[in-house]
């Protein structure tokens, strides 16, 4: 997938967690609000939309792209 396509993508939790893992970030979904969080720092990586998916640009931004 190209960078711009990834930025515009809506990503399911499993895919977002896997992408973070590839970049040595341990991510998990916070039960209270379904936010994707970095388990080491506690920082929010991305907030879930109404369908429980995450905006690709938020994830890429957190990973430093």
User: For the chain, what are the domain ranges?
Assistant: 3-63
**What burial letters (b/e) apply to 12-30, b meaning 16+ CB within 10 Å?**
ebeebbebbeeeebebebe
| CA gap 37, 25 in Å, rounded | 10
Distances (CA, A) of 53 to 17, 24: 12, 21
The two tokens of residue 31 are 């039960």
* Number of neighbours of residue 36 by Cβ within 10 angstroms: 22
- Each residue's pLDDT tens digit, 18-57: 999 999 999 999 999 999 999 999 999 999 999 999 999 9
- Each residue's pLDDT tens digit, 50-64: 999 999 999 999 998
């Amino acid at each position: 997938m190209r960078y711009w396509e990834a930025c515009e993508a809506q990503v399911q939790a499993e895919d977002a967690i896997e992408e973070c893992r590839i970049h040595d970030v341990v991510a998990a979904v916070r039960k209270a609000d379904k936010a994707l969080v970095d388990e080491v720092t506690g920082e929010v990586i991305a907030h879930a939309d109404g369908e429980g998916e995450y905006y690709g640009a938020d994830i890429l931004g957190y990973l430093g792209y």
